[in-house]
Amino acid sequence: MKKKSFFSNESRENVDIRDIDELIEMGLDNDEIAKELGISRKHVESLIKDIDKDF
């Protein structure tokens, strides 16, 4: 099964939904997730909002 991911314009790499979900489960906040993935906090918030809307 192909990984579902969102394209990050900032890092020019795919951001995997499972990576974001795993970091949230580990207890990281949006700032820490942004640093880990190399994207902005606003972009993390937008991705989480999209994920919540889709699932």
Give a yes or no: residue 14 inside a domain: no
Per-residue pLDDT of the chain (55 residues; tens, 9 = 90+): 455 555 545 445 678 888 888 999 999 999 999 999 989 999 899 888 988 887 7
Q: Using an 8 Å Cβ cutoff, are 15 and 40 in contact?
A: no
Does any domain span residue 15? Answer: no
As beta bridge partners, residue 13 has 8
Query: What is the value of pTM for the model shown?
Result: 0.69
Radius of gyration of the chain (CA): 10
Is residue 3 in a domain? Answer: no
27: left (phi over 0), alpha (psi -120 to 50) or beta: left
- For 1-55, what is the HEC assignment? CCCCEEEECCCCEEEEHHHHHHHHHCCCCHHHHHHHHCCCHHHHHHHHHHHHHHC
**Residue 39 structural domain:** 24-55
